[in-house]
Amino acid sequence: MLKITLERIRQGHHTAPYPAQPPVLPTLFRGRPYIDNARCPADCQRCVQTCPVGAISRGDNGLEIDLGRCLFCGDCARACPTEALDFSRDHQLAARTRDALIATETPPQALAALDAKMKRLFGRSLKLRQVSAGGCNACEADLNVLSTLSFDMARFGIQFVASPRHADGIVVTGPVSQNMRSALIDTWNAVPTPRLLIAAGACAIAGGPFAGSEQVLNGVGDLLPVDLYIPGCPPHPYTTLDGLLRLLGRIESHPR
């Protein structure tokens, strides 16, 4: 026992200090898109044509990127001849509504926390059941690491559980294949009310690269009510953790 204690002291503290300090992100991380319409010629369509999932369009506010569909591959930024489009290091991507995932030149609004009643219920203890509805395991893997020593999401009272009957909500990954439709609904119905539903990843939000296939439902939004959207392919663990903490009111949601 003494040797174990001495070894723990020698190893020190390995859990990341987030959210007390900004997260350390990998060099190749792509976060919230940066758009400068002043640099974008009105007749240029290179980024629109380059996007493999059709996430980019021109609207009344100039260029718009649907983060719910975006794979964050960076092809659009590389194709832009005027550097009107690029990706920042901002990991705060989660949103409460589908419309809030449309990125424009205007800074996004703050993510609204749950109402007072729901925060009282889940603010200090949130148990989630993860459902892979046809996912490739990328989103599932990055959700799994949230329970490891580095991120340790349990320190905030957030844990994944084995049964929906023990859960306060579900986290859906994957484009929701036809074969998983009934299983997903059964899992949702097994969660006691009130409950939360979180769509994690481009597939769960809008079908990802599988959108339009007759074998998938293009995400969970048309099937069940979504309380939190976490974009990415896959979402970085810090993006997921940030969204969950802001949803629970554990981090003050201020304009970014």
Q: What domains can be seen in the chain, in order of their start residue? A: 116-247 (3.40.50.12280)
State the pLDDT at residue 59: 79
State the pLDDT at residue 1: 80
State the pLDDT at residue 13: 66
Given a cut of 50, is residue 34 above it in pLDDT? yes
CA atoms within 13 A on the CB side of 90: 15
In sequence order, the 6+-apart residues with CB closer than 8 A to the CB of 44 are 81, 82
State the pLDDT at residue 251: 87
State the pLDDT at residue 42: 85
> Model confidence at 4, in pLDDT bands (50, 70, 90)?
confident
Around Cβ 135, how many Cβ atoms within 10 Å?
A: 25
Given a cut of 60, is residue 90 above it in pLDDT? yes
237/121 Cα distance (integer angstroms): 24
> Model confidence at 130, in pLDDT bands (50, 70, 90)?
very high
